[in-house]
Structure 1
Amino acid sequence: MRRLFALVVLALLLAGCAREQVWHRESYVFGTRVEVAVWGDDEASAGAAMGAVLREFDRMHRAYHAWQPSELTDLNAAIARGETTHVRPELAAMLTDAKALAARGDELFNPALGKLIALWGFHTDTFVPRLPDPKAVQALVVSAPSMADLHIDGTRVWSDNRDVQLDLGGYAKGYALDRAAAILRAKGVRNALINIGGNVMALGSKGGQPWQIGIQHPRAPTPIAALALYDGEAIGTSGDYQRYFEVDGKRYCHLIDPRTGSPAMGTEAVTVLVTPRHGAGVLSDVASKPIFIAAHHWREMARRYDVADVLRVDADGAITVTRDMAARMKPLGDTHYTVLDD
């Protein structure tokens, strides 16, 4: 059975005399379960703030859905017709940001790959164990749709390549984290934890102590390690165990390598911790994708995105962590891992 979360939120499970002061709401959007927890405020104000966050998540889900009718599918239809179209300023800004982030990683983070994602059967909530037509895959590899093909002038958007089909699944959850943090702060909430299917952002603390989360093992029901998360920090995980299917004993996940047109191999999971900065939520969502796809060259990709805290599980199950991540995490159980020097 698929696990919905790459990260197990431990904070809400910890016993303590003030546990009743953690107010909690959850919903199901972006194809996953989302949770918002607020510490220390009265129930009414916390509930109002969390309700505003969940309404924003629902708005974004409907506006930027990759295959159900949305502003994004309207844009994709215009691109397929070779037309220039106007989009709302928010979407134009998101695409501009996503284009710049894609360029930093040689387009391994590539939201223009919607046609390939659909071809592999991941534009649905249930996955059929069936391989796509190799010729159709190869045609898209040759066409090489990328964010570099997308042009944005104000709110006008068009593409040189009609095979560009935008899918913001690797960007929108991080954007939603940043939006949630802004909404909570605007409503006076200073201590909260937001979890969108394993993409997590912390605000403030839990009773003066850092929020605690667990990094999920990609092949086991237990966490690899516990991790303290401080104000403004965000965690993102990409793994082959959330959206995948198997054919003849081989696993095919939704993380497509644009160089081959096929699901990335060589990595089971990557978790990145992004320290406080503007757009920390977005970066935590985006950076884990090219690091995952880069496989053995993941360290260079992490440096490109200025991410120092990384945990990677390779295709053989071996766990490697950067020195910065090792200093932050507490291994659980009989976890064995290698710490890199640089």
Structure 2
Amino acid sequence: MTKSRNIFLLFLLFLLLLGCEKKVERVDEEKFAFGTFFKVTIFSNNAKGAKGKIGLAFKEIERIDEKYNSKVKGSLVDNLNKTKKEIFDEEGVYLLKEVKKTYELSEKKYDITMEPLMMVWGFSEEVEVRTVLPGEEELKKASENVDFSKVEIENNIVSIKNSDMKIDTGSFLKGYAVKKAAEKLRENGVTNGFISAISSIEAIGTKGDGTPWKIGIQNPDNPSEILGIVELNNQSMGVSGNYQTYVEIDGKRYHHILDKETNYPVQDKKMVVVVNKNSFEADMYSTAFFLMPIDKVLQKANSTPDLDVLIVDKNNKIIVSENLKFSKKD
């Protein structure tokens, strides 16, 4: 009797523990920052605790937005653009030094001082939308104020050696914010989560059921359709495309990724997708790789661990690096 009673009590305890186990739920929240919507997803058996952790992630995104965004008045970069000399903190110096690495990787094609050319083409809230193509003289004059090599860093003092030059953080800061938000989630015990800001994504682990996150890759000719699926498992993604921002002049579209050698939009690609372990790099690389020759992009991806790319060229040919997990739609 004693043995049977003990077995019964153990079975009862097991049922009680089973009943106390909370179901894993998906918790989502969305907020506006950097001119776009950020969405944070967590799989957790504690919805209230998950919301608190998501709140910490959004606070980190807001901190970076307010402190470094070139479009935010009073930010370090805004002050630098106005005064041409500013004392940066350690994090700000790190950001610009990482940008410089990508600038050099791209053989100076990736340049965050492109604002004069962007304004000439009408890619700025400060100017009217273009209705006619910019003239060659107009483009040439603007291009004279594009040169990231004139941004100098000495210890923590950042200087711009051209009074008509400005830094634009649009091509990298959103990815950095995603990276830092993901770090904040990991620090607080999140093992299954996801952060997206349209073209910048970071996956923390896998989904709640252990399967990879599946990301639909848009068709640049028709963004409502997908070309296929890329799976992410504790990875990041950055996307640059000719369909994201553009002006239409005389019935023809001109996108915002400008080649500073021609002063015109890049012509040989429609989209670049970067997959790696760092959403800050993925954001920068997607733009830098859009500006670089396709063979050099593939060479870099195929020779670098944990770095993969997908390119849609001007003829809609899909080109992928050796290790990218991409399932093309039938």
TM-score normalised over the length of structure 1: 0.81
**1:48 is matched with which residue: 45, 52, 55?**
52
Matches within 5 A, 1:297-336: 297-304=293-300, 306=304, 308-325=307-324, 328-332=325-329, 334=330
Using the alignment, how far apart are the partners of 1:20 and 1:186 within structure 2?
Answer: 20
Moved over 6 A (4+): none
Q: Say if 2:179 is the partner of 1:178.
A: yes
Unaligned runs of 5+ in 1: 1-17, 335-342
Which residue number in structure 1 is paired with residue 81 of structure 2?
76
Q: Which amino acid aligns with 1:223?
A: I
- Which segment is superposed worse, 167-176 or 116-125? 116-125
Query: Which protein, 1 or 2, shows the higher relative CO under an 8 Å CA cutoff with sep ≥ 6?
Result: 1
Deviation at 1:144, TM superposition (A): 5.6
Q: Say if 2:28 is the partner of 1:27.
A: no
TM-score normalised over the length of structure 2: 0.84
Q: Which amino acid aligns with 2:54?
A: M
Using the alignment, how far apart are the partners of 1:118 and 1:27 within structure 2?
Answer: 28
Using the alignment, how far apart are the partners of 1:49 and 1:125 within structure 2?
Answer: 37
Alpha carbon RMSD of aligned pairs, Å? 2.3
Using the alignment, how far apart are the partners of 2:164 and 2:146 within structure 1?
Answer: 6
Q: Say if 2:228 is the partner of 1:225.
A: yes
Matches within 5 A, 1:26-175: 26-71=30-75, 72-79=77-84, 84-124=85-125, 128-130=129-131, 131-141=133-143, 143=144, 145-175=146-176
**Do the aligned residues in 2 keep the contact of 1:87 with 1:156 (CA within 8 Å)?**
yes
Partner SS state of residue 235, structure 1: strand
Deviation at 1:322, TM superposition (A): 2.4
Using the alignment, how far apart are the partners of 2:56 and 2:317 within structure 1?
Answer: 41
**Do the aligned residues in 2 keep the contact of 1:104 with 1:304 (CA within 8 Å)?**
no
Using the alignment, how far apart are the partners of 1:147 and 1:304 within structure 2?
Answer: 22
Partner SS state of residue 65, structure 2: helix
Partner SS state of residue 78, structure 2: helix
Partner SS state of residue 41, structure 2: strand
Q: Could you say if the C-alpha distance between residues 68 and 261 of structure 1 is closer, same or farther in structure 2, counting changes exceeding 3 Å?
A: farther
Q: Which amino acid aligns with 1:60?
A: I
Using the alignment, how far apart are the partners of 2:310 and 2:126 within structure 1?
Answer: 28
**Do the aligned residues in 2 keep the contact of 1:290 with 1:301 (CA within 8 Å)?**
no
Equivalenced residue count is 302
**1:291 is matched with which residue: 282, 285, 289?**
289
Q: Which amino acid aligns with 2:46?
A: D
**Do the aligned residues in 2 keep the contact of 1:236 with 1:272 (CA within 8 Å)?**
yes
Deviation at 1:133, TM superposition (A): 4.7
**1:237 is matched with which residue: 225, 239, 248?**
239
**Do the aligned residues in 1 keep the contact of 2:24 with 2:45 (CA within 8 Å)?**
no
**Do the aligned residues in 1 keep the contact of 2:24 with 2:43 (CA within 8 Å)?**
no
Deviation at 1:35, TM superposition (A): 0.9
Q: Which amino acid aligns with 1:75?
A: L
Q: C-alpha offsets along residues 292-322 of structure 1, whole Å, 9 cap, x if unaligned? A: 122xx22313434637522111223222222
Which residue number in structure 2 is paired with residue 202 of structure 1?
203
- Identical-residue share of aligned pairs (%): 27
